[in-house]
Amino acid sequence: MAPGSPLTAEFACEAVEASVRSVLVLIILLGVSGCAWITDFSKEPIPVSVSAANYSQLSDEELYARVHNDPVNSNPEPPDAPKPSNPVYYLLLPGEVYPSDVPVDTMYRELETSLESKGYFNAVYQVRAGHITPRIDYLLRVHYGERTWLTPIVRKDRVTWGNDGLVANRSKVFLKANVMGRSVYDPRVGLSQEEEMTLHQLEGALMSSGGGPVSGSHEQRLVALSERQALVDDEASRDYGGEDTRSRDFFLFVVEAFKFEDVRTMDKKAPCIWATFIAVPAEHGQKLSSLLRTMLQTGTPYFGATTHGLQIYEVPPGKVLMGIPVEVPGPQKTLQPSGPTLP
C-alpha cells in the first residue's frame, strides 16, 4: 500500500484502537489484582510483646541483665509457672489510664477472668458473691491504654508503691538546662517526632553559636547540651529516651503487684513484687477492645515470672473466650495470715 492511501490510514486507526483496548484491559487487570494485594489486617497475626520481672527474686544486676541486655525472643514457649496451692486474693486499682475504647470496669473484668487461671481471685467479687474473703494478699495496679513508646519492657529500677508509674518519677523531670543528667532519662520511651525535631534544633543552635557539633548517643548529646547551658523550650519537654530513636503508638497493658501488708506498713516505700508489660503496636485502625483478650491470654503465663529479654508472639487472629469471674469453692470464713508470694 502506498503511503497516505485510505487503507493505510484505516489500518493505522485500527492499530491505535487495538492498543487502547489492550491498555484498558491491562489497567482493569491491574486494578482487580491490586484489590487482591490489599491486606486484610483483621486476618493477620497480632504481634504481642511481653516483658516481665519478679523484682523480689532478682538482684539489681540480674534485673538489668535480663530485662535490658537479653536478646529478643520470637514465638518462645511460655513459662510453666505453678499455680499457688491456696487461693490468692487481691484488689484492683487503676494506675495510669491512657486513651482507649475500653472502660475501666471492662478492663477489670477481663483481667479478673485471666488471673483466675493463676489462682488469683478478686476479693471484691468474692464479697459480692456472698463469701467472706479471709484476707487480701495483693494490690494490683494496672496501667493501660494507647500512648507513644519505644521499647515495651518493664522498668529495670526498683519500683515502689509511691513510684509505680510506667516511668520513674525522676524521669518525668522537665528537660531544662540545669536539670539534666544521665540518670534522668528512660530509654524505653523514645522520642516523638516533635521532640526529635527539637533536639535537632538545639544542636543547630549550638553549632551556629560556635559550640561545635555534638556526637554520641541521644543521652550523651543531651548531657553535652546541658553542660554548655543550651536554652530549651519548656513545651518540648517530656520523658526523653536514652536513644535517638523515634517512638510510635502502642496499646499497653501493665500490671504491677504489691503485697497488701507491705503497703499497709511501709506506705510509699512498699516494693513492687512483680510486674508484667504487655503491648501491641497501635496500627491499621485497630482498637484496644478487639485486642485486649488476646493480649491478656498471651501475657497471663508471665504474671509473677521474669522474662529473658522481650518475648514477641505472632498470635493468630480470632476471638479468645475467657469466660466470666467465678466464685472460690468451699468455705472461706477463717482469717489467715498473708498468702503466698507468686513463684
pLDDT at res. 70: 84
User: 282: which 3 cell numbers?
Assistant: 497501635
Q: How confident is the model at residue 260 (pLDDT cuts 50, 70, 90)?
A: very high
pLDDT at res. 336: 37
User: 168: which 3 cell numbers?
Assistant: 520513674
Q: Is the dihedral of CA 292, 63, 149, 281 positive or negative?
A: negative
Residue with cell 516481665: 52
Q: How confident is the model at residue 256 (pLDDT cuts 50, 70, 90)?
A: very high
Q: What is the mean pLDDT of residues 183-206?
A: 68
| Residues 315-341 pLDDT 10s | 987 544 344 444 545 544 333 333 333
The more confidently predicted of residues 178 and 306 is 306
Which of these, 47, 57, 3, 22, lies nearest to 278 by C-alpha position? 47
Q: Give me the DSSP letters along 300-331.
A: GGGTT---SS-EEEEEPPS--------PPPS-
| Residues 101-147 pLDDT 10s | 999 999 999 999 999 989 999 998 878 777 777 789 999 999 999 99
Of these ranges, 119-128, 169-178, 240-249, 310-319, the one predicted with the greatest mean pLDDT is: 119-128
Average pLDDT over the chain, rounded to whole?
74
Query: Would you say 139 and 93 are in contact if contact means Cβ atoms under 8 Å apart?
Result: yes
Distances (CA, A) of 289 to 7, 44, 141, 158, 199: 70, 17, 19, 31, 35
User: 213: which 3 cell numbers?
Assistant: 557539633
Euclidean distance between CA atoms 187 and 153, whole angstroms: 10
User: Rounded to 5 degrees, what angle do the CA atoms 310, 96, 276 make?
Assistant: 25
pLDDT at res. 270: 97
Residue 27 has pLDDT above 50, yes or no: no
Which of these, 141, 131, 183, 135, lies nearest to 163 by C-alpha position? 141
Rg (CA), the chain: 28
pLDDT at res. 268: 94
What's the predicted TM-score (pTM) here?
Answer: 0.69
> 20-29, 175-184, 210-219, 268-277 — which is least confidently predicted?
175-184
User: 67: which 3 cell numbers?
Assistant: 530485662
Query: Would you say 181 and 219 are in contact if contact means Cβ atoms under 8 Å apart?
Result: no
End-to-end CA distance of the chain: 94
| Residues 273-302 pLDDT 10s | 999 999 999 988 899 999 999 999 999 999
